[in-house]
């Protein structure tokens, strides 16, 4: 199944592979780490933890908005 295959009926949202999902998560981790972690150490500070949480939430929200916009135009 390619990255934009639909369900078995040929309709509905595309199904993404595990590899593609993992690539996306790696991207999010990298971007959020770069933005939020100022002094890497053995644990996260409270502000770093909050920043990471907000960063991931924003990424998920933006991905959902982009996906809905893409599929509403089809």
pLDDT in tens, 16-47: 688 888 898 899 999 999 999 988 999 999 99
The size of the chain, in residues, is: 74
Write out the H or E segment, with its range, that includes residue 58.
Answer: helix 46-72
Q: What is the DSSP letter of 9?
A: T
Q: Which has more pLDDT, 68 or 74?
A: 68
Q: Which has more pLDDT, 14 or 21?
A: 21
Q: Which has more pLDDT, 74 or 51?
A: 51
pTM value? Answer: 0.65
Query: What pLDDT does 11 receive?
Result: 55
- Compute the distance between CA of residue 18 and CA of residue 38 in angstroms, rounded to an integer: 30
Residue closest to 20 by CA, chosen among 33, 35, 5, 36: 5
- Compute the distance between CA of residue 43 and CA of residue 54 in angstroms, rounded to an integer: 18
- Compute the distance between CA of residue 20 and CA of residue 45 in angstroms, rounded to an integer: 30
Query: What pLDDT does 5 receive?
Result: 45
């Amino acid at each position: 199944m390619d990255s934009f295959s639909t369900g078995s009926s040929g309709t509905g949202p595309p199904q993404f592979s595990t590899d593609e999902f993992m690539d996306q998560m790696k991207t999010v981790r990298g971007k959020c780490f770069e933005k939020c972690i100022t002094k890497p150490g053995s644990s996260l500070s409270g502000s770093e933890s909050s920043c990471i949480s907000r960063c991931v939430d924003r990424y998920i929200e933006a991905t959902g908005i982009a996906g809905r916009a893409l599929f509403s135009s089809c």
